[in-house]
Amino acid sequence: MARKYFGTDGIRGLTNTAPMTAAIAMKVGQAAGTRFLRGSHKHQVVIAKDTRLSGYMMESALTAGFTSVGMDVIQAGPIPTPAVAMLTRSLRADLGVMISASHNPYLDNGIKLFGPDGYKLSDADEAEIEAMIDSEVALAEPQLIGRARRIEDARGRYIHFAKATFPDDLRLDGLKVVVDCAHGAAYAVAPKALWELGAEVDAIGVTPNGININEACGSTHPKALQMRVLEVGADIGIALDGDADRLIIVDEKGQIVDGDQIMALITGRAQETGMLKGDGLVATVMSNLGLERWLTGRGLKLHRAGVGDRYVLEMMRAGGFNIGGEQSGHLILADHSTTGDGLVAALQVLAALVASGKPASELLHLFDPVPQLLKSVRFTGVPLENAHVLAAIADGEARLNGHGRLLIRKSGTEPVIRVMAEGDDKKLVKAVVEEICAAVVAA
């Protein structure tokens, strides 16, 4: 059944347009609060946000919803998404809420929900909450209405947590690091954590004004970081997104390092130190074939999940893996966190950099990516049932057989078919993708 509110990562949309309105946010608070009013203890929820202008409005609406059903609210202010997961567990809260649209522009916002274990809610929990949003929930008696209070040390708690993932016997002394915080949730915590570990820190994207989050900066727009790394002669650059659950690296030569290369580094290091759990790592169907071949060469496997960090995490938990992520830089290191954490992943990269003594350009380029091309094409009707489209797909698969792979997937949010191919022959990859896209358009 199609969902009305929840997508693959919570609720997200254009602010002041359904479902991202204050009225609906209040109902989400009431529904989620009611769903987690279990047991006789005093119930509480942690609410945090990134730096979007609409964060204040959504925070107030959610607070009204939760308190109206009898749940206390702990407001943590602007902190990264992984900090919410950490605080939810640390404070023994019943729920955690992050108000963020991640790497989207400031016009959008979103609501991500975490359970008491610090993991994002299951499909079943989200379905129950969604069913309650449009219904009337029982409000608390006047004397049982929840209270709201703001905690002032949330950032400090998260910095302490992140630093604890860095090896005790290492420091970042002498390392020049540029960090781009995307004018987002990590603007205060990331530079400070790096400085406290001894790095010489050059911070950009740290002056949020409510509307500049992710604007020409951060992990989805790394050009500014590339230029800065070269300008100041830094050893490495770190780019986070608006809610700091993604990481992209720039080496000392200004070259971009994506999530696949970062996962290779962290996995290889874990294998060498005996810390790897499972027979490899979990990534998505979008990860490069080069990563899969590199893992195979080390006697490891690449397990592919559907697109979306929640599906990566589900496979990790089911198979006992401790490393997983996406090519986009959403990395999940289960030994440290219950969700993607850009700063913690960056600290593992920096630890490897210090321990190896190698330059980032050598350390972080472990394999040559196989040529990959992704195109999106809008459609009408049902093209994936069209004979000509199916024939084009079958022909493409046959031509790539043994030398690459083909992935066709329909978007869950818009009338778009995404066609991705990769293989050793760049011209063949391009031809296959263009022929399938043309067939979809003509269908």
Can you give the pLDDT at residue 326? 96
Which residue ranges does the chain devote to CATH 3.30.310.50? 372-442
Task: Answer yes or no: is pLDDT of 413 > 70.
Answer: no
Parallel, antiparallel or unpaired: strands 236-240 and 247-251: antiparallel
Q: What is the CATH number of domain 372-442?
A: 3.30.310.50
Superfamily in which the 153-369 domain is placed by CATH: Alpha-D-Glucose-1,6-Bisphosphate, subunit A, domain 3 (3.40.120.10)
Mean pLDDT confidence for 103-119: 96
Question: How confident is the model over 219-261, as pLDDT tens digits?
Answer: 999 999 999 999 999 999 999 999 999 999 999 999 999 999 9
Residue 427's pLDDT is: 94
pLDDT category of residue 412 using cuts at 50, 70 and 90: low
Q: In which residue ranges of the chain is CATH 3.40.120.10 found? A: 11-152, 153-369
What would the CATH number be for the domain defined by 11-152?
3.40.120.10
**pLDDT surpassing 70 at residue 36:** yes
Residue 157 has pLDDT above 90, yes or no: yes
CB of 212 closer than 8 Å to CB of 235: no
Q: Is pLDDT above 90 for 443? A: no
Mean pLDDT of the chain: 95
Which of the residues 54, 68, 102, 219 is marked catalytic?
102
Q: What is the pLDDT of residue 2?
A: 64
**Any idea how long the chain is?**
443
**Considering the chain, what percentage of its residues have pLDDT values greater than 90?**
91
Q: What is the DSSP letter of 143?
A: G
Q: Give the Cα separation of 58 and 308 in Å (integer).
A: 24
pTM of this prediction?
Answer: 0.92
Q: Shortest CA distance to 274 belongs to which of 232, 335, 224?
A: 335
Q: Catalytic: 102?
A: yes
CA-to-CA distance for 356 and 268, rounded, in angstroms? 13
